[in-house]
């Protein structure tokens, strides 16, 4: 639990710094990749196979994030 708290505290600090130093429209799409990483970790660590709804949602999130990132670069 202690290690988890330290890692989450560090992650929270880094997210705040990224938002402080960069534009939110460029930073937030990367934050949404956490949902995809969560599904992958669930699959690898616990053998939890995602349902088609989860896979479809992850695809929609990825497409939305890439769209936001592309628009931010214009």
For the chain, the helix, strand and coil percentages under 3-state DSSP, each to the nearest 5: 85, 0, 15
Which residues lie closer than 8 Å to 26 by C-beta, 6 or more apart? 69, 72, 73
What's the predicted TM-score (pTM) here? 0.57
**Which tens digit of pLDDT belongs to each residue from 17-65?**
999 998 887 787 777 778 878 888 999 999 999 999 988 988 888 888 7
Q: Hey, where are the domains in the chain? A: 23-74
Structure tokens at 31: 């934050």
């Amino acid at each position: 639990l202690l290690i988890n708290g330290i890692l989450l505290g560090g992650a929270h600090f880094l997210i705040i710094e990224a938002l402080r130093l960069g534009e939110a429209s460029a930073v937030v799409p990367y934050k949404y990749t956490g949902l995809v990483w969560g599904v992958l970790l669930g699959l690898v660590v616990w053998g939890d196979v995602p349902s088609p709804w989860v896979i479809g949602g992850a695809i929609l999130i990825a497409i939305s994030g890439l769209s936001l990132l592309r628009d931010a670069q214009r």
